[in-house]
Copies of this chain bind each other. A is one copy, B any other.
């Protein structure tokens, strides 16, 4: 059974996906969690505290759905794993939507908030290196700098496509096609 705090954090993730970090209203969060606003303040210091812990919560959850795989399923080839990793973020499921929204909010907020930058830069670096490593498995002969550059482009593109999807500029299906082609394009270059 999830604790009250967890229940509130889950509700917060849903509200943030719907309204954004800066659109989160404590009253709406309370309604979403089925509790009173006062109880929110019993469990969390203030609005900023809610936000910080929610982003942590979302990050942990993303780690789970990105990494975790059915142990009975046959292992993926490097190429499949690459596609899997990148295209997983372009799926219209509640969890991915919530996560992508929060990530986009975090990225956009960091432009005006020094405090967020370091965490964001570190998380981005980890992600880029992960993708670079996967690219390296598919193209073992490619030089490291080329792999790094391709990984930076693919992840930056994913962020761009994700924002266009979430902001209603791009259909999710089309975004996936564009992303898949981008992987092709980059691999073609790395394979020369």
Residues of A whose CB lies within 8 Å of any CB of B are: 18-20, 22-23, 101, 104-105, 107-112, 116-117, 120-121, 124, 149, 152-153, 155-161, 163-164, 166-170, 177-178, 181-182, 185-186, 188-189
Cα-based distance from A112 to B15 in the complex (angstroms): 11
Q: Are A178 and B149 in contact (CB under 8 A)?
A: yes
Q: Using Cβ atoms and an 8 Å threshold, which residues of chain B touch A166?
A: 111
A24 to chain B, nearest CB (A): 10
Q: Using Cβ atoms and an 8 Å threshold, which residues of chain B touch A153?
A: 157, 178, 181-182, 185
Cα-based distance from A107 to B164 in the complex (angstroms): 8
A46 to chain B, nearest CB (A): 17
Closest to A118 in B: B168
A164 touches which of B156, B163, B169, B185 (Cβ 8 Å): B156
Given known contacts A108-B163, A112-B19, A156 and B178 CB-to-CB distance under 8 angstroms: yes
Given known contacts A112-B19, A188-B189, A156 and B160 CB-to-CB distance under 8 angstroms: yes
Q: Are B161 and A156 in contact (CB under 8 A)?
A: yes
Q: Are B164 and A124 in contact (CB under 8 A)?
A: yes
Q: Using Cβ atoms and an 8 Å threshold, which residues of chain B touch A20?
A: 108-109, 111-112
Q: Are A149 and B181 in contact (CB under 8 A)?
A: yes
A74 to chain B, nearest CB (A): 32
A-B contact pairs, 19 of them (CB 8 A): A105-B108, A107-B167, A110-B167, A111-B166, A111-B167, A117-B168, A117-B169, A120-B167, A124-B164, A149-B178, A153-B181, A156-B157, A156-B164, A156-B170, A159-B163, A160-B163, A185-B189, A188-B188, A188-B189
Q: Using Cβ atoms and an 8 Å threshold, which residues of chain B touch A181?
A: 149, 153
* A149, A164, A166, A178 pick with most chain B CB within 10 angstroms: A164
Closest to A114 in B: B168
Q: Are A23 and B167 in contact (CB under 8 A)?
A: no
